[in-house]
Amino acid sequence: MSDTESPPARGLRERLLRPTLPELWTFLAIALPVLASLIATLPTVDLAYQLRAGADILAGRGIPAVDTWTFTAAGRPWLDQQWGAQAVLAAIYGVAGWSGLAILRAALVGLAFGLILVAIRHRQPGLSGRVTAWLTLAAFIVAAPALALRPQLLAMACFALILALLAGRRRRPRAIWLVPVVAIAWANLHGSFILAPVLVGLVWLEDIGERSPRAGPTFGAALLTGAVTLVTPFGFEAWRYAVGLASNREVTSRITEWQPTTPTDVPGILFWASVLLVAGAVLAIVRAGRTVTWPSVIALVAFAALGAVAARGIAWWPGVAAVTLAGLLQRPVALGEAATAPRRTERGQSINAHVALGLLLACVAVLPVWRPIHGATGAPTDLLGQAPASVTLFLRAAATLEDRVWNPQVWGSWFEFAVPAPKYAFDSRIEVIPPDAWRDADTVAAAGPGWEAILDARGVTMVVAEGDRTAPLAAALAGSPAWYLLADGGDGSIWVRHGR
């Protein structure tokens, strides 16, 4: 065999029983994120209310248009742009329960980073399997804090699919016309759909920089991608919602992931470390005499800025950084161009199959289906986050349709799903709750001046206080003759108004 000949094709049986080291690295780049996702808990702070809304949609009640779950925002408009994701999540829950949702989260993570790996390979076919896997795993590590199961995770799979389609456009030019199809789905899943035409626009800039004849069709695909994002039940209102959410003062001041990213927590440290590493790699490439194109710089700066402005934007940076950096590491191989560098023939080894099998068995072993079901949550033990079990049990036994429950915002989504009978004060739809209600929430939580008058004016019959009995609100309730302690659940306490 000459240096430029390809090694003989290996059959599926041979690849499974004796994978090569590059094949093992490819497997690890997908399987390790899947394993990590199966181990992690499912936060309910954004998930649970999505399940309730999705169940209503699947039951034929239509897409919610006004709030009916809270007494602080009752009747206010609710543009439920994430309705498609809610239907998907509720359908999976209806068939397979909480374990099914945990498996769905792992499958979406594996899909997203598998597609990023494909995009890296399309972008730079000359990279070794190990380097491709390292870039993929690095992207996963940086994005890991953003991988909770919620509509954004479905959007991240769409984002990764578009990255793969665009990265492979040199070999499959027609694949770019699949991007608008993905954009239609994305526009009905999550407000980040506005990134779809941005990605195609960046690729158009790259085609312009290369003076490629593809620039015209790419520009057309960018326009079409932007246009089809209007194919939702809301049309232009979906854009207004997506843009308005990022500028909503209540959202940006109360939700930490909408605030600027600082290196003071794990997500911020990972993000800024990755930005510095990418910047260092780009500088090294320039010093080595290789070209760094201006469209690549624009892409890196734009998505780094998105992550810097809001921690929520970190989700999109790692994929773009990994794919863009891959394209800068070596000269791209054009379609039909023969590789001139010698290719080393990799030999498969059974030990690689044993490593892969061990990882697969680990994924099976940590599946939540093996855990006992918790009676209060109805979920496998230790699977859910932001779901206070004891408080839920007591609330379920005591709350009625007539009750108005003042609750911590972080638990609102869970309560609305697990104990849907009463009306609640707050949930995770920050943009739906009016600003005066959030000001009241601050006052009551701190037991500030007028806290009891606020509860009286809003007709509150039950209060769920977060923390132990020494917390400001719980201590104030204990000292008030208008309230008595119903239950102390450890994570929080439930207080009931006398004469309720």
CB-CB contact of 196 with 225 (8 Å): yes
Q: Which of 170-174, 243-247, 385-389 has the highest mean predicted lDDT (pLDDT)?
A: 385-389
- Unique residue bearing structure tokens 């593809």: 214
| Residue 7 banded pLDDT, cuts 50, 70, 90 | low
CA distances from 95 to 88, 92, 100, 419 (A): 11, 5, 8, 21
pLDDT above 70: percentage of residues in the chain: 95
Domain shared by 93 and 241, yes or no? yes
Q: Is the pLDDT of residue 337 over 70?
A: no
* 44 in any annotated domain: no
| Residue 332 banded pLDDT, cuts 50, 70, 90 | very low
Domain shared by 229 and 294, yes or no? yes
Four-residue CA torsion sign, 414, 420, 426, 432 = positive
Kindly provide the residue ranges of all beta strands, DSSP E only, lying in 386-482, ordered along the sequence.
Answer: 404-406, 423-424, 462-466
Please give the tally of structural domains in the chain.
2
Residue 319: both structure tokens together = 């994929």
Distance CA 419, CA 306 (A): 37
Structural domain boundaries enclosing 462:
388-497
Domain shared by 152 and 226, yes or no? yes
Which residues, 6 or more positions from 299, have their beta carbon under 8 angstroms from its beta carbon? 202, 320, 324
| Residue 18 banded pLDDT, cuts 50, 70, 90 | confident
Domain boundary among 341, 358, 375: 358
pLDDT on residue 15: 74
For the segment 409-441, what is each residue's pLDDT rounded down to a tens digit? 999 999 999 999 999 999 999 999 999 999 999
Give the residue from 186, 210, 213 showing the smallest Cα distance to 199. 186
- Unique residue bearing structure tokens 């009905």: 188
Mean predicted lDDT score pLDDT of the chain = 91
Q: Is the pLDDT of residue 334 over 60?
A: no
CB-CB contact of 261 with 307 (8 Å): yes
Q: What is the mean pLDDT of residues 208-226?
A: 93
Domain shared by 402 and 339, yes or no? no
For the segment 237-293, what is each residue's pLDDT rounded down to a tens digit? 999 998 888 778 887 778 888 889 999 999 999 999 999 999 999 999 999 888 899
* 59 in any annotated domain: no
Residue 147: both structure tokens together = 């991988």
pLDDT above 90: percentage of residues in the chain: 79
Domain shared by 341 and 406, yes or no? no
Q: What is the mean pLDDT of residues 298-326?
A: 95
Domain shared by 339 and 429, yes or no? no
pLDDT on residue 331: 54
* 352 in any annotated domain: yes
* 488 in any annotated domain: yes
Q: Is the pLDDT of residue 2 over 90?
A: no
What is the pTM for the complete model shown? 0.92
